[in-house]
Chains A and B, each alone.
Chain A
Amino acid sequence: MNVMSRLLLSAAGIVLAGTLPASAAWQPRKPIEFVATAGPGGGTDNLARAVQSIITKYKLTDQPIVVVNKGGGSGAEGYVYGKASAGDPHKVIFGTSNAWQQPLVSKVAFNYTDLTPIAAIAQDEFLLWVKQDAPYKTVSDYLKAAAASEFKMGGAQSKDTDEVLTRMIEKIGHIKLTYIPFKSGAEAAVQLAGGHIDSHVNNPSESLGQWRGGMQRPLCAFSPKRLPQGPKITAIEGWSDIPTCVEQGLDIPQYEQPRTVWLPGKVTPDQIAFYVELMKKVQATPEWKDYIEKTLQVDTFLTGADFDSFIKQDLDHLKQVAAEQGWLVK
């Protein structure tokens, strides 16, 4: 290529760039891959597919989107894949807080700093559930009974959000719990319905069917205020009738599971801005509201410095719990 043609090309480039609107500084140029750090059917997978269908429906980008599942190793597979794709802005990783929690407690080959945070776009609440015919009606009854005999608490995975919350309940409620890890919250719910464990801390959607069916009921919500009112779930109660744990004297004001979106490392600010905008547009649609409502999550949008400080705060807290439990990996 000679000097002349190079000059012509750059001149053409400047002219072209001038005609583009400022907001379209960067656009994806090939198919976008949504990496769900969960197996098909898991919460993170459902989220990625919901976002995909909304983007496709409203044609928010010209490029096609494919969802791939990399849920091996409690999601580590997907994060490691994201780390290995550094510099590739056509891969978007969908995860949870285990992006920063997992590296702290097990020897996985990634850390959240290997990825570029885009946003936290939804939050799942946690509740304390017991079997329908359990004798205790309030949290203090539960704590009293648990102090007398060591209760069995079920949850999804080990040293993950469920177990962290279990350890917090132990500490603040002055009781001792035996934590039994299962593969998923759904499994823990069935074990509770069968009376094989005493309680679990499932997300609302994981135990909704069981509550309606009169097999288990929530004692309290780990949330600063009561859950939003919706249609009644059982004959007499809906989500907003569940007291918060603080109301019931168990002083854990807030515990949530954020759904997080990441790009691989080494991407440009333009590319980050594109995806932040994209997620904002997705959140503005009625389909998104519908999805959030049906899966009983809380709509939220954290990005930039807010998201960073959220991660820091959560990480500090987890470090404290993990150090107390001796979970930290050297």
Chain B
Amino acid sequence: MENLHELLHGFTIAVTMPHLALMVIGVLLGILVGVLPGLGAPNGVSLLLPLTFGMQPVSAIILLSSMYWGALFGGSVTSILFNIPGEPSSVATTFDGYPMARDGRPTTALATAFGSAAFGALVGVVLITFLASWVARVALAFGPPEYFAVYFLAFASFVGMGGAAPIKTVVALAIGFAIAAIGIDTVSGSVRLTMGVDELVKGVSFVVAVMGLFGIGELLVAVEEEVHARGVSSKIDWREVLRAVVRLPRHGIALLRSAAIGCWMGITPGGPTAASFMSYGIARRFSRRGQHFGTGEIEGIISPETADHAAGTSALLPMLSLGIPGSATAAVMMGGLMIWGLNPGPMLFVDQKDFVWGLIASMYVGNIVAVALVLLTVPIFAALMRIPFVIIAPLIVIICVVGAYSVSNSYLDVIMMLGFGVVGYLFKKLFYPLAPLVLAIVIGDKAEDAFRQSMLLSKGSLGVFFANGLVTSLVVAGLALLLLPLGLQIAHVLRKPGERKSIAPDSEDTTRQKVRVT
């Protein structure tokens, strides 16, 4: 157990007063940037970066990574309370977190989210601790065809397992792909779909899209239905926080399954976003209360949050061992590593043992510090829900407008955000699912790049997707998920020829609708 020995040495570096203080500062700053509109982890970390140039590399990375944990937790707060996801990976948390908060249980929703996120992160760190070298080798096996297969699997799990009519899911995916294609194309280098608007060359920012689709879209629906006119009466109750956390082990299977999905997607290039979506999709399929997903189910919060944090944590490993940043925040930290005079890559584990194991140990401690701090803030955040809708609604509009503007100080983004608000409203009214649309906007262009790179490699032959065991099994799993509902339906029709049911109704949105009307 050489790793264990190294880890213990790491703890002696990480658990010192100055480092613990840095963790607390980092986490608090992180929560702040996570909650504030338009800031987010990558911006927060890059603002803090110049301050770290004079520090020891270990202290610097502890400060920055603690800020990252804080921001990840903080990002879930706005998703749950206001339906505004701050990071792509917390979109799936809105599906059940927001209905639960609206239902008068914001404390439970937040505490559940934080508790399961911490569990996911810890599983991710344990994986890094014991399987570092193995994980690094797995990541190297991924070339463009394997990348594409992973993305394909994520998309397929949505078409096959999403509650909405498969054809509507496909339509939502297609619109998402079209939006993701706007801007400069990596493979040809040419400008696409900008329709003569010069500014669109930068593409459509994820933040702009989700703020509109979720924040404004939900607001329009709420205004129409006039049910939110009163604030949710939630007491500030510490026991509720404790109860929610104690209740978590009852959902052990969901926790473990989601952590496994998260780690897998974190090591492979799927990343936290794909992980949280896949975990949610699979939970809906396999949970006994699957049909209730979307109305504020506990497991609907546990699944995406656990997977998100497990993936986010394990994604730091490829950054350290291979120099591939798994996320925008990791990319900023890597820039920091270079400036501190360290070179991310395989030799980091050999040359800079103190740095690497100090960081890994700080991930254990930092996450515990982060979850303790956010759990303490739960009642304060939950109290926000008592503010009446007439006050909250304009606040949400301000958050969305400021958030969209601050992405790149552009009015066009604000207009687009409002446009997405209308699209979000229409999607809800017409029972089209939003999740596949967002998934396609976030990873659509990556999937396209990977597909076209594969085609360049193979000179146009699709055989490249069945060239080795890894890519074949990923593609076959994707195809199986895609065809599963079709197969079930055919079997259903064959068994009862007389009783022909229409395609499964959109459970997520209809049930959500019902909740709102009652």
Contact = CB atoms under 8 A, between A and B. Distances in A.
Given A40-B42, A183-B186, A70 B408 contact: yes
A186 B325 contact: yes
Given A41-B325, A178-B457, A193 B140 contact: yes
A191 B324 CA distance: 10
A312 B344 CA distance: 37
Given A41-B325, A181-B189, A209 B347 contact: yes
Given A194-B142, A209-B344, A210-B323, 12 more contacts: A41-B325, A42-B331, A53-B50, A73-B202, A158-B187, A159-B189, A182-B449, A190-B324, A194-B141, A196-B457, A209-B345, A209-B347
A194 B343 CA distance: 19
Contacts of B188: 158-159
Contacts of A41: 46, 325, 328, 331-335
Given A73-B201, A193-B140, A208-B343, A183 B189 contact: no
B202 A76 contact: yes
A40 B332 contact: yes
A57 to B, nearest CB: 9
B347 A52 contact: no
Contacts of A56: 50
Nearest to B330: A41
B184 A76 contact: yes
6 contacts: A40-B42, A72-B408, A74-B184, A158-B186, A158-B187, A212-B351
A107 B50 CA distance: 35
Contacts of A178: 456-457, 459
A107 B142 CA distance: 33
A52 B50 contact: yes
A191 B147 CA distance: 11
A196 B140 CA distance: 9
Interface in A48-71: 49-50, 52-53, 56, 67-70
Given A178-B456, A186-B323, A209 B348 contact: yes
Query: Chain A, interface size: which category?
Result: 35 or more
Contacts of B249: none
Contacts of A152: 457
B234 interface: no
B103 interface: no
Contacts of A209: 323, 343-348
Contact of A73 (B139, B142, B203, B344): B203
A180 B145 CA distance: 13
Nearest to B348: A209
Contacts of B505: none
Interface string A183-215: 100110111011011000000010011101111
B101 to A, nearest CB: 31
Interface of A: 39-42, 45-46, 49-50, 52-53, 56, 67-70, 72-74, 76-77, 80, 105-109, 152, 157-160, 163, 178-183, 186-187, 189-191, 193-194, 196-197, 205, 208-210, 212-215, 291, 294-295
B37 interface: no
A291 B198 CA distance: 35
Contacts of B45: 40
Contacts of A213: 345-347
Given A73-B184, A74-B189, A191 B346 contact: no
A72 B339 CA distance: 24
A106 B335 contact: no
A172 B176 CA distance: 43
B341 interface: yes
Nearest to B53: A53
Tell which of B139, B198, B456 has the most Cβ of chain A within 10 Å: B198
Contact of B338 (A39, A76, A205): A205
B97 interface: no
B453 A182 contact: yes
Contact of B345 (A52, A76, A208): A208
B20 to A, nearest CB: 27
Given A190-B322, A191-B143, A213-B345, A80 B338 contact: no
B347 A212 contact: yes
Contacts of B459: 178
A80 B186 contact: no
Contacts of B185: 158
Residue from the set A109, A178, A213 with the largest chain B CB neighbour count within 10 Å: A213
A34 to B, nearest CB: 12
A51 to B, nearest CB: 11
Nearest to B324: A190
A294 B334 contact: no
Interface in B363-418: 408-409
B457 A182 contact: no
A181 B454 CA distance: 11
A107 B189 contact: no
A157 B140 contact: no
Contacts of A160: 189
A193 B46 CA distance: 29
B456 A180 contact: yes
Given A68-B409, A70-B408, A181-B189, A80 B331 contact: no
B461 interface: no
Contacts of B226: none
